[in-house]
Protein backbone atom coordinates (compact mmCIF):
# COMPACT_ATOMS: atom_id res chain seq x y z
CA UNK A 1 0.00 0.00 0.00
CA UNK A 2 1.20 3.50 -0.83
CA UNK A 3 2.49 5.27 2.34
CA UNK A 4 0.83 8.43 1.01
CA UNK A 5 -2.52 6.82 1.86
CA UNK A 6 -1.70 6.25 5.55
CA UNK A 7 -2.63 8.47 8.49
CA UNK A 8 -1.15 7.75 11.91
CA UNK A 9 -3.46 7.96 14.91
CA UNK A 10 -1.18 9.91 17.21
CA UNK A 11 -3.39 9.54 20.28
CA UNK A 12 -2.97 5.76 20.40
CA UNK A 13 0.05 4.80 18.30
CA UNK A 14 2.18 7.55 19.90
CA UNK A 15 0.61 7.59 23.33
CA UNK A 16 4.03 7.18 24.99
CA UNK A 17 5.40 10.23 23.15
CA UNK A 18 5.13 13.73 24.61
CA UNK A 19 1.79 15.05 23.27
CA UNK A 20 3.50 18.12 21.89
CA UNK A 21 5.86 15.94 19.83
CA UNK A 22 3.35 13.49 18.38
CA UNK A 23 2.60 15.18 15.08
CA UNK A 24 6.28 15.87 14.39
CA UNK A 25 7.12 12.26 15.25
CA UNK A 26 4.55 11.05 12.72
CA UNK A 27 6.13 13.29 10.11
CA UNK A 28 9.59 11.95 10.92
CA UNK A 29 8.30 8.39 10.48
CA UNK A 30 7.15 9.21 6.97
CA UNK A 31 3.39 9.52 7.36
CA UNK A 32 1.54 11.96 5.14
CA UNK A 33 -1.34 12.64 7.56
CA UNK A 34 -2.31 12.25 11.20
CA UNK A 35 -5.48 11.75 13.19
CA UNK A 36 -6.37 12.38 16.82
CA UNK A 37 -8.81 11.41 19.50
CA UNK A 38 -9.87 14.46 21.52
CA UNK A 39 -6.37 15.83 22.24
CA UNK A 40 -7.14 17.61 25.51
CA UNK A 41 -7.73 16.42 29.08
CA UNK A 42 -10.56 18.94 29.41
CA UNK A 43 -13.88 19.00 27.59
CA UNK A 44 -13.43 22.73 27.09
CA UNK A 45 -9.73 23.54 26.65
CA UNK A 46 -8.39 27.03 27.24
CA UNK A 47 -7.53 29.15 24.18
CA UNK A 48 -3.81 28.81 24.87
CA UNK A 49 -4.12 25.00 24.94
CA UNK A 50 -5.84 25.07 21.57
CA UNK A 51 -3.18 27.36 20.14
CA UNK A 52 -0.40 25.04 21.30
CA UNK A 53 -2.06 21.99 19.74
CA UNK A 54 -2.75 23.76 16.46
CA UNK A 55 0.81 25.11 16.33
CA UNK A 56 2.26 21.63 16.96
CA UNK A 57 0.25 20.09 14.11
CA UNK A 58 1.00 22.93 11.72
CA UNK A 59 4.70 22.72 12.52
CA UNK A 60 4.67 19.06 11.43
CA UNK A 61 3.18 20.12 8.08
CA UNK A 62 0.73 17.23 8.07
CA UNK A 63 -3.06 17.47 7.82
CA UNK A 64 -4.96 16.13 10.81
CA UNK A 65 -7.55 14.38 8.67
CA UNK A 66 -9.64 12.95 11.53
CA UNK A 67 -10.52 14.49 14.88
CA UNK A 68 -12.78 13.07 17.59
CA UNK A 69 -15.27 15.21 19.44
CA UNK A 70 -14.71 15.40 23.23
CA UNK A 71 -15.98 12.36 25.12
CA UNK A 72 -18.63 14.11 27.20
CA UNK A 73 -17.20 13.60 30.67
CA UNK A 74 -17.42 10.92 33.38
CA UNK A 75 -21.24 10.81 33.38
CA UNK A 76 -21.12 9.13 29.97
CA UNK A 77 -17.81 7.34 30.58
CA UNK A 78 -16.15 9.56 27.95
CA UNK A 79 -17.88 7.55 25.23
CA UNK A 80 -19.51 10.51 23.47
CA UNK A 81 -22.75 12.48 23.48
CA UNK A 82 -24.29 11.81 20.09
CA UNK A 83 -27.08 9.53 21.35
CA UNK A 84 -27.46 10.85 24.91
CA UNK A 85 -30.88 12.44 25.57
CA UNK A 86 -30.71 15.67 27.54
CA UNK A 87 -27.15 16.54 26.46
CA UNK A 88 -28.01 18.04 23.08
CA UNK A 89 -26.67 21.51 23.86
CA UNK A 90 -23.45 20.00 25.21
CA UNK A 91 -23.12 18.02 22.00
CA UNK A 92 -23.59 21.14 19.88
CA UNK A 93 -20.93 22.97 21.87
CA UNK A 94 -18.56 20.02 21.45
CA UNK A 95 -19.16 20.06 17.71
CA UNK A 96 -18.57 23.78 17.43
CA UNK A 97 -15.31 23.56 19.37
CA UNK A 98 -14.03 20.54 17.45
CA UNK A 99 -14.84 21.94 14.03
CA UNK A 100 -13.31 25.29 14.94
CA UNK A 101 -10.05 23.51 15.80
CA UNK A 102 -10.24 21.20 12.82
CA UNK A 103 -10.58 24.06 10.37
CA UNK A 104 -7.10 25.17 11.40
CA UNK A 105 -5.36 21.82 10.91
CA UNK A 106 -6.85 20.36 7.74
CA UNK A 107 -9.52 18.13 9.28
CA UNK A 108 -12.02 16.62 6.85
CA UNK A 109 -13.50 13.91 9.08
CA UNK A 110 -15.03 14.24 12.55
CA UNK A 111 -15.91 11.34 14.84
CA UNK A 112 -18.60 12.46 17.32
CA UNK A 113 -18.56 9.12 19.21
CA UNK A 114 -22.04 7.67 19.47
CA UNK A 115 -21.99 6.98 23.21
CA UNK A 116 -23.49 4.28 25.41
CA UNK A 117 -27.13 3.25 25.46
CA UNK A 118 -29.31 1.57 28.06
CA UNK A 119 -31.63 -0.28 25.68
CA UNK A 120 -31.53 -1.67 22.15
CA UNK A 121 -30.26 0.37 19.22
CA UNK A 122 -33.21 0.44 16.81
CA UNK A 123 -34.58 3.11 14.54
CA UNK A 124 -37.25 5.00 16.45
CA UNK A 125 -35.70 4.45 19.89
CA UNK A 126 -35.02 7.52 22.00
CA UNK A 127 -31.26 7.12 21.60
CA UNK A 128 -31.52 6.68 17.82
CA UNK A 129 -33.74 9.72 17.42
CA UNK A 130 -31.49 11.79 19.68
CA UNK A 131 -28.51 10.83 17.54
CA UNK A 132 -30.39 11.68 14.35
CA UNK A 133 -31.49 15.08 15.69
CA UNK A 134 -27.94 15.85 16.78
CA UNK A 135 -26.52 14.86 13.41
CA UNK A 136 -28.96 17.05 11.54
CA UNK A 137 -28.00 19.93 13.79
CA UNK A 138 -24.22 19.68 13.32
CA UNK A 139 -23.89 18.27 9.80
CA UNK A 140 -24.29 21.76 8.29
CA UNK A 141 -21.43 23.02 10.49
CA UNK A 142 -19.20 20.28 9.12
CA UNK A 143 -20.41 20.92 5.58
CA UNK A 144 -19.36 24.57 5.87
CA UNK A 145 -15.86 23.25 6.61
CA UNK A 146 -16.02 20.81 3.65
CA UNK A 147 -15.98 17.95 6.16
CA UNK A 148 -17.86 14.74 6.89
CA UNK A 149 -19.23 13.33 10.14
CA UNK A 150 -18.24 9.65 10.50
CA UNK A 151 -19.98 7.17 12.81
CA UNK A 152 -17.87 4.39 14.31
CA UNK A 153 -19.04 0.95 15.47
CA UNK A 154 -16.96 -0.10 18.48
CA UNK A 155 -15.85 -3.25 20.27
CA UNK A 156 -14.92 -3.65 23.91
CA UNK A 157 -17.69 -1.45 25.32
CA UNK A 158 -20.74 -3.50 26.39
CA UNK A 159 -23.20 -0.61 26.08
CA UNK A 160 -21.84 1.02 22.92
CA UNK A 161 -24.62 2.46 20.76
CA UNK A 162 -22.99 1.21 17.56
CA UNK A 163 -21.28 -2.17 17.31
CA UNK A 164 -21.92 -3.21 13.69
CA UNK A 165 -21.61 -1.63 10.29
CA UNK A 166 -25.33 -2.19 9.73
CA UNK A 167 -26.23 -0.22 12.87
CA UNK A 168 -24.09 2.70 11.76
CA UNK A 169 -25.44 2.46 8.24
CA UNK A 170 -29.03 2.72 9.47
CA UNK A 171 -28.24 6.04 11.14
CA UNK A 172 -26.29 7.28 8.12
CA UNK A 173 -29.17 6.51 5.79
CA UNK A 174 -31.68 8.15 8.13
CA UNK A 175 -29.55 11.31 8.25
CA UNK A 176 -29.14 11.35 4.48
CA UNK A 177 -32.89 11.00 3.97
CA UNK A 178 -33.25 14.20 5.98
CA UNK A 179 -30.71 16.01 3.83
CA UNK A 180 -27.44 15.46 5.74
CA UNK A 181 -25.41 14.10 2.86
CA UNK A 182 -22.08 14.52 4.65
CA UNK A 183 -22.63 11.69 7.16
CA UNK A 184 -20.89 8.34 6.64
CA UNK A 185 -19.52 5.28 8.45
CA UNK A 186 -16.08 5.10 10.04
CA UNK A 187 -15.18 1.54 9.03
CA UNK A 188 -12.71 0.31 11.67
CA UNK A 189 -11.55 -3.14 10.56
CA UNK A 190 -10.16 -3.99 14.01
CA UNK A 191 -13.46 -3.36 15.79
CA UNK A 192 -15.34 -5.19 13.05
CA UNK A 193 -13.07 -8.24 13.43
CA UNK A 194 -13.40 -8.31 17.22
CA UNK A 195 -17.19 -8.09 16.93
CA UNK A 196 -17.23 -10.72 14.15
CA UNK A 197 -19.19 -8.26 12.06
CA UNK A 198 -20.65 -9.94 8.93
CA UNK A 199 -19.53 -6.90 6.92
CA UNK A 200 -16.07 -8.54 6.72
CA UNK A 201 -17.28 -11.82 5.24
CA UNK A 202 -20.01 -10.72 2.83
CA UNK A 203 -19.90 -8.41 -0.14
CA UNK A 204 -18.01 -5.17 0.62
CA UNK A 205 -20.26 -2.28 1.61
CA UNK A 206 -20.98 0.44 -0.91
CA UNK A 207 -18.02 2.79 -1.01
CA UNK A 208 -20.24 5.86 -0.71
CA UNK A 209 -21.23 4.73 2.79
CA UNK A 210 -17.60 4.73 4.02
CA UNK A 211 -16.18 8.06 5.12
CA UNK A 212 -12.97 6.80 6.71
CA UNK A 213 -11.15 3.51 7.37
CA UNK A 214 -9.04 2.57 10.38
CA UNK A 215 -7.01 -0.55 11.07
CA UNK A 216 -5.09 -2.43 13.74
CA UNK A 217 -4.25 -6.10 13.95
CA UNK A 218 -6.00 -8.67 16.13
CA UNK A 219 -5.44 -10.06 18.67
CA UNK A 220 -3.73 -7.27 20.57
CA UNK A 221 -4.65 -4.14 18.59
CA UNK A 222 -1.02 -4.04 17.51
CA UNK A 223 0.72 -2.87 14.35
CA UNK A 224 -0.40 -4.49 11.09
CA UNK A 225 1.42 -7.78 10.67
CA UNK A 226 1.58 -8.58 14.39
CA UNK A 227 -1.73 -10.47 14.49
CA UNK A 228 -3.90 -12.66 12.28
CA UNK A 229 -6.06 -10.28 10.26
CA UNK A 230 -5.75 -10.11 6.44
CA UNK A 231 -5.69 -6.32 6.57
CA UNK A 232 -3.92 -5.83 3.24
CA UNK A 233 -6.47 -8.07 1.53
CA UNK A 234 -9.41 -6.22 3.08
CA UNK A 235 -8.01 -2.82 2.17
CA UNK A 236 -7.31 -3.93 -1.40
CA UNK A 237 -10.93 -5.03 -1.66
CA UNK A 238 -12.18 -1.70 -0.36
CA UNK A 239 -9.98 0.07 -2.90
CA UNK A 240 -11.30 -2.09 -5.72
CA UNK A 241 -14.86 -1.20 -4.78
CA UNK A 242 -14.21 2.53 -4.75
CA UNK A 243 -12.89 3.69 -1.37
CA UNK A 244 -10.15 6.23 -2.07
CA UNK A 245 -9.60 7.92 1.29
CA UNK A 246 -6.96 7.63 3.97
CA UNK A 247 -6.43 4.51 6.07
CA UNK A 248 -5.81 5.37 9.71
CA UNK A 249 -3.28 3.29 11.64
CA UNK A 250 -4.97 3.14 15.07
CA UNK A 251 -2.87 0.68 17.02
CA UNK A 252 -0.40 0.47 19.89
CA UNK A 253 2.47 -1.64 21.16
CA UNK A 254 6.21 -1.52 20.63
CA UNK A 255 8.10 1.33 19.06
CA UNK A 256 6.45 3.63 16.49
CA UNK A 257 6.88 2.18 13.01
CA UNK A 258 7.57 3.89 9.71
CA UNK A 259 4.79 4.11 7.17
CA UNK A 260 6.41 1.80 4.62
CA UNK A 261 6.49 -0.96 7.27
CA UNK A 262 3.16 -0.20 8.95
CA UNK A 263 1.04 -2.27 6.58
CA UNK A 264 2.33 -5.61 5.38
CA UNK A 265 0.79 -8.06 2.96
CA UNK A 266 -0.07 -11.50 4.19
pLDDT at 82: 98
Tell me: the pLDDT tens digits for 187-229?
999 999 999 999 999 889 999 999 999 999 999 999 999 999 9
pLDDT at 262: 54
Q: How far apart are CA 46 and CA 97, in angstroms?
A: 11
Tell me: the pLDDT tens digits for 112-126?
999 999 888 999 999
Catalytic one of 35, 152, 167, 169: 152
End-to-end Cα, the chain, rounded Å: 12
Which CATH entry fits the domain spanning 3-262: 3.50.50.60, 3.20.20.150, 2.40.70.10, 3.40.50.300? 3.20.20.150
Q: Is 78 helix (H, G, I), strand (E, B) or coil?
A: coil
Q: Answer yes or no: 35 catalytic.
A: no
Beta strands in 106-239 (DSSP E): 109-111, 148-151, 183-188, 210-215
Confidence bin at 266 (pLDDT 50/70/90): very low
- What is the SS3 assignment for 43-56? CCCCHHHHHHHHHH
pTM of the predicted model as reported, rounded to 2 decimal places:
0.96
Contact present, 2 and 247 (Cβ < 8 Å): no
Confidence bin at 1 (pLDDT 50/70/90): low
Q: Is 129 helix (H, G, I), strand (E, B) or coil?
A: helix
Catalytic one of 35, 127, 167, 250: 250
Residue 196 CB contacts under 8 Å (≥ 6 apart), including other chains: none
Q: Answer yes or no: 233 catalytic.
A: no
Domain ranges of the chain: 3-262
Amino acid sequence: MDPEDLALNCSLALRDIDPRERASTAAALGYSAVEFWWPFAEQHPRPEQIREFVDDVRRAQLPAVLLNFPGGGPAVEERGLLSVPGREDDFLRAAETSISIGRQIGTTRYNPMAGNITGTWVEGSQEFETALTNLLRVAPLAAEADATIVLEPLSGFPRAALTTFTEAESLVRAARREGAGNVAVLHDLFHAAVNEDPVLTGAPPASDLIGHVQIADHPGRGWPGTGELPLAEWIDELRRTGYDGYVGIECHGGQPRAAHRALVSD
